Amino acid sequence: MSEAPNAGPVLLDVRDVSKAFGTVEVLRSVSLQVKRGEVVTVIGPSGSGKTTLLRCVNFLESYDSGSIRIDGNEVGYREAGTRQRRRERDLAAMRAETGMVFQSFNLFPHLTAAGNIMLGLTKVRGKKEAEARSIAEHWLGRVGLAHKADSLPAELSGGQQQRVGIARAVAMEPKILLLDEITSALDPELVGEVLAVVRSLAEDGMTMLMVTHEMAFARDASSRIVFMADGGVSAVGPPKEILAAETTNERLRTFLARFRASHF
Amino acid sequence: MGYALNFNLIWRHFDKLWGGLLLSLELAVISIAIGVVIGLVLAVWYVSAGRVVRAVIAAYVEFIRNVPLILLVYLVFYGLPTVVDLAYSAPTSFVLTLSVYSGAYLVEVFRSGLEAVPRGQLDAGKAIGLTPWQRLLHVRLPTMLRITLPALSNTFISLFKDTSIASVISVPELTFGAQWINFNTFRIVEVYLVTTAMYLVTGYIMLFGLRLVERRFRAAR
Ligand SMILES: Nc1ncnc2c1ncn2[C@@H]1O[C@H](COP(=O)(O)OP(=O)(O)OP(=O)(O)O)[C@@H](O)[C@H]1O
Ligand SMILES: [Mg+2]
């Protein structure tokens, strides 16, 4: 398995994670590692468990067996192997270390762009109002929205809302950023501005685990691509290898062929 | 049919109506304030509780909603003191009743509002590391308030009108004042015309104020 040239030690370590919703097995013994500074992209057909995997990483979903570690700390449970949930306060503290950007933006509608970013900074990071404001303004500047600090989400376009969503996540200085199809709900002409922000974060060395259907972006921006099928990891490798038309992985080939048919 | 309207007697006793209106407002404001506390606490408890608590809260709501307010007023004023050793004035008794009554309606309003808060917003609150209390305070309640404000305004105005039922236990609020003038002057049409106008105008002023609040919140959508 090849890796990003400047990748550091393993930051996210997912081992043999399984999860069922009722009787439906959604994740089957999923293992994957993300090293510090890496951008790992998850692709796969609808229903293959990509979202569920991301949600397990910051424990928005619990998992039934296996272990997820970030920086050596077990996510969600007291110790690997036990199914003893951590206390809510510990879960909250742990989640503050992972940023998440959602397909549907999920901005807090009653707060301005700056307010959305400041909430976590003041309530979770304990920063003073003024300091939180200046951090929020810094990140809004980074995503090209310095002039929208006092706009409410309803006054922003989808692309702008999503950039606020990204700023809200990275302002917390998470160890890893989780991005779940963050451009899927956007009009095509707004996709570019959001991907540009992600690309610039990647260049700054932000560790990312992302789900996307933007294959061109995945090819250019990822250190590695993980192909999921039926709740399991079916293939992992560098973008060129995974996205090659002549891959020997039957399911991957079918997926890519269908994908090309519907997107080009 | 020759009934000549004559409002002179009404104006002579207008202090009964004016004082009554002020008392009606007082009864409404106190009862609604207590009802909001009951409603909020029970609604928040409901959405996070297990089956037993939910069943108990649902039973309270069902009971109150299926018994006429006037009966509850009689029960609390005449019935309760005979069972438990309590002595309270008629206004206190009515406030107690209307609080419990409005609480039941407000639980429903707040509960449906809390349940209507999109799950994605709660996930976003979790994802930035807010604790459950912080999520409630900073994410769920503000959004719930914006969702429920129109229903809340309607409930408040309807509860204000319900204060007229206090007249059945001789609380000297607006309707009681109207009855008093009617008994003493027999100007039945005039007194009820004026009283109706007073309920209407007060209701509209309340509605106007609440709509202003709503508009401010809706701007934040
Ligand atoms: N909360 C839930 N309750 C029950 N089943 C669920 C739940 N969430 C997801 N599932 C099921 O788990 C499976 C995997 O869903 P998931 O959302 O992880 O897939 P996905 O790979 O992200 O798909 P998509 O590309 O459509 O987003 C699906 O069959 C889905 O129906
Ligand atoms: Mg998904």
What Å distances lie between residue B3 and A161, B60, B183, CA to CA?
A: 67, 49, 18
Output the residue whose Cα is nearest ligand 1's atom 2: A21
Chain B residues with CB under 8 Å of A182 CB are: none
Q: In what order do the strands lie in the sheet with A24-35?
A: A24-35, A10-21, A65-70, A73-74
- Other beta carbons less than 10 A from residue A250's beta carbon: 10
Pocket lined around ligand 1, Cβ cut-off 6 Å: A 21, 24, 26, 44, 46-52
Cβ–Cβ below 8 Å for A169 and B134: no
For residue A46, the SS3 value is coil
Output the residue whose Cα is nearest ligand 1's atom 25: A46
- % of chain B at pLDDT higher than 70: 97
Nearest CA in chain A to B123: A60
- Six token digits for residue B121: 């917003």
* Fold held by B8-219: MetI-like fold (1.10.3720)
Complex ipTM: 0.91
Who's near A124: CB < 8 A, 6+ residues apart? A92, A96, A172, B128, B129, B130, B134
Q: Measured in angstroms, how far is the CA atom of residue A49 from the centroid of ligand 1? A: 6
For residue A116, the SS3 value is helix
Contact A44, A235 (CB under 8 A): no
CA distance B122 to chain A (A): 9
- This prediction has a pTM of 0.87
The CA distance from B110 to A243, in Å, is: 51
- Residue B14 phi/psi, 5° resolution? -60, -30
- Residue A20 phi/psi, 5° resolution? -125, 140
- Burial of B139-150, coded b for 16+ CB within 10 Å and e otherwise, reads bbbbbbebbbbe
Tell me the pLDDT tens digit for each residue of A8-22. Answer: 789 999 999 999 999
For residue A198, the SS3 value is helix
Residues with pLDDT less than 50, chain A: 1-4
Comparing A4-8, B56-60, B157-161, B163-167, which segment has the lowest mean pLDDT?
A4-8
Report all structural domains of chain A as residue ranges with CATH numbers, in order of start.
10-97+176-263 (3.40.50.300), 107-173 (no CATH)
H/E element holding B88? none
- Six token digits for residue A195: 């991907």
Tell me the pLDDT tens digit for each residue of B28-53. Answer: 999 999 999 999 999 999 998 889 99
- % of chain B at pLDDT higher than 90: 74
Sequence spans of domains, chain B: 8-219
Tell me the pLDDT tens digit for each residue of A28-81. Answer: 999 999 999 999 999 999 999 999 999 999 999 999 999 999 998 899 888 766
Chain B residues with CB under 8 Å of A152 CB are: 219-221
Chain B residues with CB under 8 Å of A105 CB are: 120
E-strand spans in A37-83? 39-43, 65-70, 73-74
The CA distance from A150 to A230, in Å, is: 44
What Å distances lie between residue B213 and A168, B13, B46, B209, B219, CA to CA?
A: 29, 35, 27, 7, 10
| β-strand partners of A225 | A41, A237
pLDDT of residue B73: 96
pLDDT of residue B219: 59
